[in-house]
Amino acid sequence: MEQKQKPDTPVKQGRREFLTLAGVAAAGTGLLAGTGSATAAEEQPAGKGQGYQETTHVRTYYELAKF
């Protein structure tokens, strides 16, 4: 039943397709929700631009966690 493959950008496409087939996407929202409290081992040192990215990511995870 299957037909042609879409000839898109080869490299990126390969990776995404592979990750899709491997079931990575199926992990879904439940997984991301877990991430908020999952962070285990180590963090960045208190460097110069400290925290900005870290904070936004943490916030994203908490927002996702509400689903």
Q: Interface with another protein includes 8 (CB under 8 A)?
A: no
User: Measuring CA to CA, how many Å separate 18 from each of 6, 21, 27?
Assistant: 14, 5, 14
Min dist CB 60 to another protein, Å, is: 8
Burial of 65 per CB tally in 10 Å (0-12, 13-18, 19+): middle
What does the alpha-carbon distance between residue 57 and residue 63 come to, in Å, rounded to a whole number?
10
Min dist CB 37 to another protein, Å, is: 6
Q: Interface with another protein includes 44 (CB under 8 A)?
A: yes
Residues at the interface with another protein (CB under 8 A) = 11, 14-16, 18-20, 22-35, 37-45, 47-49, 53-54, 57, 67
